[in-house]
Structure 1
Amino acid sequence: MKRLFLMAVVLFFVTACNQEETNKKIEERITPVKVESVKKEDFVVERKLVARATAADTSPIAPETPGELATLNVAKGDRVEKGETLAVVRPGGDADSQVELQQIAVRQAETQLENAKISKQQAAEGVENAKEQVNLAKQASKSEASQTAQASETAKQQYEQAQQIADETKKLADEGTIPDALYQQAQNRADQAYAQYQQLSGEKPQSSSAVAQAEAQVNQAEQQLEQARVAEEQAELQLEQANVQLNQAQEQAENEAITAPVTGEVSTLDADEGDMVTNQQPFATIVSLNPMTIAASVTAEQLSLFTKGQELEVDLPSLEEQVKSTVSYVSSVPDDTGLYPVEATVENGDEKIKPGMMASFLLPENVVEDTLIVPTDSVVEENGETFVYQVVEEKAVRVAVSVTESQTDFTAVSGDLPEEATVVTTGQLTLSDGDKVTIMEEDS
C-alpha cells in the first residue's frame, strides 16, 4: 500500500512537470508573418469592358482595267509594304483596236485644227483687204468732192456772169436800144446757168456710198474672223480631248502593275495567275495592322465613360500585357443591337496584336472617397465575422472591419483601424487574438 502511494506521488509530479513544460511552450510560440501598411485615400475600382481588336484599315485590291492576271507575287498571309508590286494584269478585250481608233481620231482633230487655222488666216486677210477698200473709197470720195466743189464754183461764176449780162441787156431793152427778144435770150441763159449751179451745189459724191459699203464689208469680215477664232478654239479642244482619250487607250492597252496601297497583311486572295480579274470585284484584300482598332459595344449608362481623345489602358489577355490607347470614335447612335459602338486606336509597330484578339478597356472609377484601404489578403472571414490582425508591439490584435468595396489586390474597409497601421497579410489564418508574431523580411 505504501508502494502504491509512492508511485502515485511520483506520477503526479511527472504529470505536473510535463503540463508545465507544455504550457511554457505554448506561451513562448511566435508566429512569423508578413505585413503591409493601411492607407487612407480614395478607393478606385478599375472596371473592365470587353472589347475586340480589329484592323484599322482594310484595302480591297482590284485593277483599273479588266484583264488577265499575268503575274501574282503574293500569297494569302504575306506581309507587304506600301508601294510593293502585288501583281501584273494584262488587259483583255480589244484594247489595241481602241488605240488605233483613237489615233485616227487624233489625226482627224489635227486636220480640223489645221483647217481652222487656215480659215482664221484667210478671215484676217479679208479684214485687212476690207479696211484697205475703205481707205481707197475714202480717198476717191475726197477727190470726187473736191472736183464737185470746183465745178460748183465754176457754175456759180458762169451764172453770175450770165445774170450780169441779162441785167445789162434788160436796161438796153427798156431804153429801146435793143429788141426785148435779146433780153429774153440773155435771161434764159442766166436761168440755165443758175439751174446748173444749183444742181452742182446739191449733188452728193457717188463715192460716199462706196465708203459705206466698204465699211460694212469690214464689219462682215471682222465677224467672219471672230467665227474663225471660235472654230480654231473648238478644234484645239477637240484635239486635246482626242489626245487624252488616246493616252487612256494606250494606258489600258499596257500591262498594269498593281501595288499595295498600305502596309499590312494579305488577308484574302481569290485569284491565281491566268485568271481573269475585273475592276468591279476585288481579287485580294490587305489588312493594315498598324495602328490597330480596339472596338467595343457599350450601354447607354457606360457611354459617358468614354470621350473622344481620351487615353485608356487596354488589357490584352492573349499577350499578357496592357497597352495605351486613344479613343477615336464614340457613337451617339445605337447600332442594331441597341448598344453604342466605341473605338480606340492602339500603336502596333511590332504587329503582335492581331485582328480578332479579345481585349478589355480598363476604366478607372472612383467608388469610395477618403477610406481605409487594406490588402485583400489581410481580410479574414470567420463565422460570419470579418476582421484583420493588426500588429501592435509584436502581437496580433484582432480588429473587426466592414468591407465597403473589394478588388483582387486591395479592399476598402471601415472600422477601428488607425491610418498607417500594420496588418498581417501572410500567416493570419493561424493566428489568434494576442498571439506573438515576428515580421518576416520581404525576401524570406
Structure 2
Amino acid sequence: MKRLLLLLILLFFVTACMQEESSEETEERVTPVKVDRVQNEDFVIERKITGRAASPDSSPVMPETPGEVATLNIAKGDRVEKGETIAVVRPGGNVGDQVELQEIAVRQAEKQLENARISEEQAQLGVENAEDQVELAEQASQSEASQSAQAAEAAEQQYEQAQQIADETKKLVDEGTIPEALYNQAQSRADQAQAQYQQLQGQKSQSSSAVAQAEAQVDQAQQQLDQAKVAVDQAELQVEQANVQLNQAEEQAANEAITAPVTGEVASLSAEEGDTVTNQQPFATIVRLNPMTISASITPEQLDLFEKGQELQVDLPALEKEAAAVIDYISSVPDDTGLYPVEATVDNAEEKIKPGMMASFLLPENVVEDTLIIPTDGLVEQNDETFVYKVEEEKAVRVDVEVIESQSDFSAVSGDLSAEDEVITTGQLTLSDGAQVTIMKEDSDEAR
C-alpha cells in the first residue's frame, strides 16, 4: 500500500514537470544580436613588413684645438639648432708663446721685404745709370765719329794728292826728266798720308766698341734688377705666410665657440665644465631627427614589392598614426642574415618619431576584385562547414559561404548574399537557422 502511494506521488511530479517544459517550449526564445552590413567592393590586403626608425646620421662635436671647457650650454637629451653655441673651450698649452714667436717671425719677414725693396731700388738706379752711360757713349761716339770722319776725309784727300804727285813724279823719272830720288821722296810722303788715313779709321772703330761695352753694362744691370724683383716677390710671400701663421696662432690662443653642426638632439655628452677636451675625440654627439629613416630587412621574395622612389605608408604603433615614406635605398646585396636592407625617408618636422621606434611598411595588395566583404567575426565554422547568419524579418537565416581571402577584421566570401544584407557578428554562436533575433543598438546595446 505504501509502495503504491509512493508511485502515485512520483507519477504526479513527473507529469507536472513535463507540462511545465511543454509550456516553456511553446514560448519562442528571442536572441539579442549585433549586425554589420555586407559590402560589395575590391578586397585589399595590407601586407606589413616590420622595421625600425633610425636617425639618418649623427654628427660628432669636437673643438679645433684641445683645451678646457669654459662654458657648457647643453645637456644630454637637449634639442639644439644648427649654428647654436653649445660650448666654449679655452685653449690649453703654450699657445701664448706661439703667438709671440709668430709675431717675431712676421717682423723678420717684413724686415727682409724692406731690404729686398731697397735692393730693387738700387738695381733700378743701376739700370738707369747704365742707360745714361750708353747715351753718353753714343753721343761721344757720334761726336768722335764726326771728327774722325772729317779728319779721315782730309787725310784721304792728302793721301790722294800725295799719291797723285808721286805717280806724276814716277812718269817724269821714267821719261828721264828728273832723278829717281825725287820720286822716292814723293812716294814716301804718299805712304805717310796713307798711314795717317788708316790710323784715323781705326779710331772710329774704338768709339763704337765703347758704346757696345756700355750697352752690355745695361744688360747686366737689368739682370740684377730682375733678380731684385724676384727677391721682393719672395719676401712678400714670406710676409704673407708669416701673417697667416700668426692669425692661426691667435685663433688657437682665443677661446673657441663650439656650435652645433646640425639641428637635432644631443644623444651623448661626455664632458662637463672644467674638463679637458681634444680635437681627436668628440665630447658630444648630435643626432639629426628630421627627416627620419625607416629601416627594414626583407626576403628575396619581397624585393619586388619595393621600388626606389616609391611612396609607401608606414605604421607607427607608438604614436598610433601612419606617415608617408619614400623608399630611397634597396640593397642588392644581402647582409650577414641573408636579408636585404631597405630604407625609406619620412618627414619628422615635429620630431615625434624617435630613433628605435617600431615601424611597419604597409604594402597594399589587391587580392580579389568586386567581391562580397563581411566582418570576419560573423563567420561560423562547424563540421568543416562555414556559414553566416543574415537577418530577415527578425529571424536568423543561415547562409553557407566560401571564404576567398581573410584578414583579422574582414574577409572576402562568396555565397547567397547581397550588398547591404545584415550579417550577425555577435550572438551567432548560440543561434540556429530560423531563430528569432532582435538587433541591439551599438551605443546603448538596447534591442531595436
Q: TM-score range by the shorter chain?
A: 0.7 to 0.9
Counterpart-to-counterpart distance in 2, 1:175 and 1:266: 135
Give 2:40's aligned amino acid.
K
Counterpart-to-counterpart distance in 2, 1:166 and 1:82: 114
Counterpart-to-counterpart distance in 2, 1:174 and 1:288: 128
| 1:136 positional shift | 1.7
Counterpart-to-counterpart distance in 1, 2:141 and 2:180: 46
- The 5 Å alignment of 1:18-417 reads 23=26, 25-26=27-28, 33-41=34-42, 43-174=43-174, 176-201=176-201, 204-391=204-391, 395-417=395-417
Q: Render the CA deviation track for 1:195-214: whole Å, top value 9, x for unaligned.
A: 43345456642121122222
| 1:21 positional shift | 9.0
Change in 2 beyond 3 A, CA 1:59/1:18: closer
Give 1:169's aligned amino acid.
T
Give 2:347's aligned amino acid.
E
Counterpart-to-counterpart distance in 1, 2:139 and 2:255: 71
Counterpart-to-counterpart distance in 2, 1:349 and 1:190: 119
Partner of 1:303: helix, strand, or coil? helix
Give 1:96's aligned amino acid.
G
Change in 2 beyond 3 A, CA 1:292/1:167: closer
> Structure 1: 5+ residue runs without aligned partners?
1-11
Counterpart-to-counterpart distance in 1, 2:32 and 2:73: 71
Partner of 2:57: helix, strand, or coil? strand
| 1:19 positional shift | 5.6
Change in 2 beyond 3 A, CA 1:70/1:381: same
Say whether the 8 Å CA contact 1:39–1:374 is kept in structure 2: no
Partner of 1:290: helix, strand, or coil? coil
Change in 2 beyond 3 A, CA 1:174/1:383: closer
> Structure 2: 5+ residue runs without aligned partners?
1-14
Counterpart-to-counterpart distance in 1, 2:270 and 2:132: 77
Structure 1 vs Structure 2: percent identity of aligned residues? 72
Counterpart-to-counterpart distance in 2, 1:169 and 1:17: 198
Counterpart-to-counterpart distance in 2, 1:175 and 1:231: 83
TM-score, normalisation: structure 2: 0.86
Say whether the 8 Å CA contact 1:75–1:266 is kept in structure 2: yes
Counterpart-to-counterpart distance in 2, 1:410 and 1:250: 73
| 1:363 positional shift | 1.6
Counterpart-to-counterpart distance in 2, 1:170 and 1:292: 127
| 1:270 positional shift | 1.3
Change in 2 beyond 3 A, CA 1:30/1:316: closer
Give 1:98's aligned amino acid.
Q
Counterpart-to-counterpart distance in 2, 1:337 and 1:122: 80
Say whether the 8 Å CA contact 1:399–1:416 is kept in structure 2: yes
Counterpart-to-counterpart distance in 2, 1:160 and 1:377: 149
Counterpart-to-counterpart distance in 1, 2:376 and 2:322: 23
Q: Render the CA deviation track for 1:294-345: whole Å, top value 9, x for unaligned.
A: 2222222223322232222222222222222222322222223222222222
Give 2:363's aligned amino acid.
L
| 1:162 positional shift | 1.6
TM-score, normalisation: structure 1: 0.87
Give 1:75's aligned amino acid.
A
Q: Render the CA deviation track for 1:243-281: whole Å, top value 9, x for unaligned.
A: 111111111111112122223222222122221111111
Say whether the 8 Å CA contact 2:34–2:425 is kept in structure 1: yes
Aligned to 1:6: none
Counterpart-to-counterpart distance in 2, 1:319 and 1:175: 149
Q: Render the CA deviation track for 1:199-234: whole Å, top value 9, x for unaligned.
A: 545664212112222222222222222222221111
Counterpart-to-counterpart distance in 2, 1:55 and 1:138: 86
